[in-house]
Amino acid sequence: MQALNHSTTTFLLMGLPGLEKMYIWLSIPLCAMYMVAVAGNSLILWVVKSETVLHQPMYYFLSMLAMTDLGLSFSTLPTMLTTYLLGQQEVKMNACLAQLFFIHTFSVMESSVLLSMAFDRFVAICNPLRYTTILPSPRVAGLGFAIVVRSVGLHLPAPIMLKKLPYCHIGQLSHSYCLHPDVMKLACVDTHVNSAYGLFVVLFTLGMDSMFIVASYVLILHAVLTIASKAERLKALNTCVSHICAVLLFYTPMIGLSMIHRFGKQASPFIRVLLSYLHFLMPPMLNPIVYTIKTKQIRQKIFHFFQSHGARMRVG
């Protein structure tokens, strides 16, 4: 079969299978989720920037998480809304490759930021007297730069390698956004090299990060159990609740997808797509909500903002 020219190669996106007649209605909650994600993470960034009391490592990492969540939201937004709201399912190859690069890059950035936040909690609980010495602002900035370099550097080859593959027909993707495994399987040549590289990146990033996060909490739990006072133990653990929620929101759907791909070959495509949506859409929406609920300073600043804004509207 003759391969298509790259400039004319087009892929077809797909929403939730079996609900095609409801796409226009599904676009309403999707738009709401994106609005909450953008507004929530923007508020987090504004509060951390404006409140000098929050200028410390824990909240710098929270700002990184908010920026990553914004990037992830804006990466999936264009094709999801065109698929559900406009019914436009075609996407050109170059646009598809650019999207998958940003989606996977921001996903690994989020994993790296969660690992950095786990290290922050480990230092704060296990070595509190040296907290500011171990994590000064320049070192936090250096960690942020390393996260960007690692994520971009590891994912830059993926779209380049996919660009060189021949595609024999207009292919049907499994989601309403482009992902590396989805695009790769539409090539009409052997893709073992691309598959091996993708597996290496996943193991080196998400796999390693998750193991180090678990190791951090094992050490944190060990340190907390040595504290004599029950009240102090609960206080120490309470500082980790928001981060644990963020980790579970990010990794649980991903683990579910991995289990389905490994053991659930007959699983419904609807479940696969739904888990993918949970993995990419829920953390950006729920992370700012969790941190607002659990962080007094952020909660108070946002409350005062809306209170003063409402007062100005009443006066006007």
State which residues form the domain around 82.
10-314
Determine, yes or no, domain membership for 5: no
**% of the chain at pLDDT higher than 90:** 46
Determine, yes or no, domain membership for 220: yes
Residue 310: its pLDDT value, please?
Answer: 59
The verdict on pTM exceeding 0.75 is yes
Does 316 score more than 80 pLDDT? no
Range with the poorest average pLDDT among 181-185, 194-198, 304-308: 304-308
Residue 308: its pLDDT value, please?
Answer: 67
Encoded amino acid at 230, one letter: K
Question: In this structure, what CATH number is given to the domain that contains residue 212?
Answer: 1.20.1070.10
Looking from the CA of 16 toward its CB, the CA atoms found within 13 Å total 17
pLDDT tens across 270-298, in order? 888 888 898 999 999 999 999 988 888 78
For 92-154, what is the HEC assignment? EHHHHHHHHHHHHHHHHHHHHHHHHHHHHHHHHHHCHHHHHHHCCHHHHHHHHHHHHHHHHHH
Does 1 score more than 50 pLDDT? no
Residue 88: its pLDDT value, please?
Answer: 86
Determine, yes or no, domain membership for 244: yes
Determine, yes or no, domain membership for 1: no
Domain count, the chain: 1
Mean of the per-residue pLDDT values for the chain? 87
Query: What is the rounded distance in angstroms from the CA atom of residue 69 to the CA atom of residue 284?
Result: 5
Residue 205: its pLDDT value, please?
Answer: 92
What number of helices (H) and strands (E) belong to the chain?
13, 3
Determine, yes or no, domain membership for 3: no
Does 170 score more than 60 pLDDT? yes
Residue 314: its pLDDT value, please?
Answer: 60
